[in-house]
């Protein structure tokens, strides 16, 4: 009787041990693959907003080589090829937010997008034309909506003012309401809109529809119906990221260089 109890426990223990070994081994062996998949998810979004097609004979990573990646020092607006020991492919500025030596608290009075912390150095993507001029810039943006922070990318043309695309890759907004930021037609409605008017950030998501005869229609995007708060969050993040604490200094630097 006793012997069979011990045997049962022994067999159960052995089964547990073998299973846990299998689980740990698969977790370790799949880690690199998971990292690559996460990187590829992000790359697909960036390619989508840059309007770069992945050809049937191409991998995501191959299509992505069309884009140049640069670090951006938000304090100076300067682009850099190197930043500490970070590998630019793997650098994730959102991880920098957890390190007080790599990020800075945003003063409450400036924190219109409610991001709390801003990385000291970000990462942007550049698409160049055949003459090596900047055709598009793809810039990460984020800000608080109704339920949480929306994370996305906006693409600008080489005039650093005209929007050529916008996309979000993570948010907590309600399906059918705030989550309509993912609506293809709404995203298309951003194309051709202008960020700055007389050197001030002017682009906003309004409540309701932009009238066709509105003289300021280039600076206005249709609101999302029943989701004014999400729309306001999107406007606020445009305001923050295209202001002086965001990408405005970068555009000055790039204008100066060209
Ligand atoms: C369950 C629930 C989910 C909601 N989700 C959102 C949302 O994701 N984004 C948003 O702006 N408003 C959302 N709202 C509505 C807001 O509370 C608010 O009424 C709305 O933003 C006002 O927009 P409107 O003036 O266009 O109606 C939600 C409301 C409820 C009850």
Q: How many CB atoms lie within 10 A of CB 135?
A: 16
148 CA to centre of ligand 1 in angstroms: 13
Q: Is the dihedral of CA 50, 52, 53, 57 positive or negative?
A: negative
178 CA to centre of ligand 1 in angstroms: 7
Q: Per-residue pLDDT tens for 76-110?
A: 999 999 999 999 998 999 999 999 999 999 999 99
Contacts of 198 (CB under 8 A, 6+ apart): none
User: With the CA atoms of 118, 121, 122 and 123 taken in that order, what torsion angle do they form, in degrees rounded to the nearest 10?
Assistant: -170
Q: How many angstroms separate the CA atoms of 244 and 49, rounded? A: 24
State the pairing for strand pair 200-201/196-197: antiparallel
Question: Rounded to the nearest 5°, which phi and psi values hold at 8?
Answer: -60, -45
Give the predicted TM-score (pTM) of the model: 0.89
CA-angle at 142, arms to 205 and 238, nearest 5° = 35
Contacts of 16 (CB under 8 A, 6+ apart): none
Q: Per-residue pLDDT tens for 135-148?
A: 999 999 999 999 99
Contacts of 239 (CB under 8 A, 6+ apart): 112, 113, 201, 204
Nearest CA to ligand 1 atom 26: 226
231 CA to centre of ligand 1 in angstroms: 10
Nearest CA to ligand 1 atom 25: 228
Nearest CA to ligand 1 atom 19: 226
Q: How many angstroms separate the CA atoms of 109 and 242, rounded? A: 16
149 CA to centre of ligand 1 in angstroms: 15
Q: Ligand 1: which of 144, 224, 229 to mutate, judged by most atoms within 8 Å of the beta carbon?
A: 229
Ligand 1 neighbours, Cβ below 6 Å, are 146, 173-174, 177-178, 225-230
The pLDDT profile of the chain, 258 residues, written as one tens digit per residue, is: 556 888 999 999 999 999 999 999 998 989 888 888 888 999 999 999 999 999 999 999 999 999 999 999 999 999 999 999 999 998 999 999 999 999 999 999 999 999 999 999 999 999 999 999 999 999 999 999 999 999 999 999 999 999 999 999 999 999 999 999 999 999 999 999 999 999 999 999 999 999 999 999 999 999 999 999 999 999 999 999 999 999 999 999 998 766
Q: What's the pLDDT score for residue 258?
A: 62
DSSP the chain: -HHHHHHHHHHHHHHHHHHHHHHHHHHHHHHHHHHHHHHHHHHHHHHHHTT----TT--HHHHHTTEEEEEEETTTTEEES--TT--TTT--HHHHTT-TTTEEEPPGGG-TT--SEEESEEEEEEEE-TTS-EEEEEEEEEEE-SSSEEEEEEEEETTSSBEEEEEEEE--PPTTTGGGGG-HHHHHTTTT-BSEETTEE--EE-SSPPPTT-TTGGGEEPPPTT-HHHHHHHHHHHHHHTSTTTTHHHHHHHHHH-
Give the nearest ligand 1 atom to 227 CA.
11
150 CA to centre of ligand 1 in angstroms: 15
């Amino acid at each position: 009787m006793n012997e069979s109890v011990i045997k049962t426990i022994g067999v159960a223990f052995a089964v547990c041990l073998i299973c846990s070994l299998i689980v740990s081994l698969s977790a370790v062996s799949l880690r690199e693959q998971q990292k690559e998949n996460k990187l590829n998810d992000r790359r697909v979004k960036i390619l989508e907003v840059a309007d770069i097609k992945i050809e049937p004979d191409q991998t995501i990573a191959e299509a992505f080589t069309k884009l140049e990646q640069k670090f951006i020092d938000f304090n100076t607006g300067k682009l850099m090829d190197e930043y500490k020991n970070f590998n630019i492919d793997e650098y994730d500025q959102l991880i920098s937010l957890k390190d007080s030596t790599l990020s800075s608290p945003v003063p409450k009075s400036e924190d219109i997008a409610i991001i709390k912390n801003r990385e000291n150095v970000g990462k942007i993507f550049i698409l160049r034309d055949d003459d090596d001029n900047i055709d598009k810039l793809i810039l990460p943006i984020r800000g608080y909506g109704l339920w949480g922070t929306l994370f996305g990318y906006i693409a600008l043309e080489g005039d650093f003012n005209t929007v050529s695309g916008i996309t979000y890759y993570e948010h907590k907004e309600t399906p059918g309401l705030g989550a309509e930021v993912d609506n293809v037609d709404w995203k298309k409605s951003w194309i051709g809109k202008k960020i700055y008017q007389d050197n001030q950030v002017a682009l906003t998501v309004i409540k309701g529809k932009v009238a066709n005869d509105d003289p300021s229609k280039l600076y206005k995007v249709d609101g999302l119906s029943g989701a004014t708060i999400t729309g306001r969050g999107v406007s606020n993040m445009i305001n923050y990221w295209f202001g002086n604490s965001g990408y405005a200094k970068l555009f000055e630097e790039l204008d100066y260089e060209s």
